[in-house]
């Protein structure tokens, strides 16, 4: 009885500690640096099938710092602005010092009210280093 309770508590604890939302579907290739300096702009390229883009209004790029449950929206792409045959999307956005350390970058469809599980199209680890004056931002 005690062991069962401990196992149940451990499972609840591990669920609460999960840093990312549930991944329902991941079907996109992300090309982004694994490391960046704070204050620099990050170039992110996503390769996504055109038929998928036609079903999504917008895509969110979020950064989840460390083991945080809460991601911060760093960029949003309006898919209506994308050509119907375009499968690669390039974007640039600044990465601030509040993300110093290890992060998880997440590409997901924009959440709407009542949406239980927005589709997650890709994830990637990203380390943000302190800004060094002697090093230029590289794209």
Total domain count for the chain?
1
**pLDDT for the residue 20:** 53
Over residues 23-75, the pLDDT tens digits come to 555 556 677 778 888 888 888 888 877 777 777 888 888 989 887 888 889 88
Is 5 a member of any domain? Answer: no
Q: Which two tokens stand for residue 51?
A: 């038929």
Is 98 a member of any domain? Answer: yes
Is 10 a member of any domain? Answer: no
Contacts of 13 (CB under 8 A, 6+ apart): none
The model's pTM: 0.68
Helices (H), the chain: 2-16, 50-53
CA distance readout (Å), 74 to 38, 44, 51, 57: 13, 12, 25, 17
CATH code for position 46: 2.60.40.730
Over residues 60-118, the pLDDT tens digits come to 889 898 878 888 898 898 887 777 777 778 888 888 888 889 998 888 888 776 666 77
Count of residues in the chain: 139
Is 11 a member of any domain? Answer: no
């Amino acid at each position: 009885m005690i062991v069962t309770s401990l196992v149940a508590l451990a499972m609840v604890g591990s669920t609460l500690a999960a840093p990312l939302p549930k991944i329902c579907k991941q079907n996109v290739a992300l090309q982004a640096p694994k490391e960046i300096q704070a204050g620099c702009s990050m170039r992110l390229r996503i390769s996504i099938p055109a038929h998928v883009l036609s079903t999504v209004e917008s895509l969110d790029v979020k950064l989840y710092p460390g083991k945080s449950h809460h991601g911060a929206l760093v960029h949003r792409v309006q898919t209506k602005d994308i050509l119907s045959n375009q499968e690669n999307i390039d974007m640039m956005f600044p990465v601030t010092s509040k993300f110093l350390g290890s992060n998880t970058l997440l590409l997901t469809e924009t959440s709407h009210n009542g949406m239980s599980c927005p589709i997650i199209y890709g994830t990637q680890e990203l380390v943000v280093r302190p800004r060094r004056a002697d090093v230029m931002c590289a794209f």
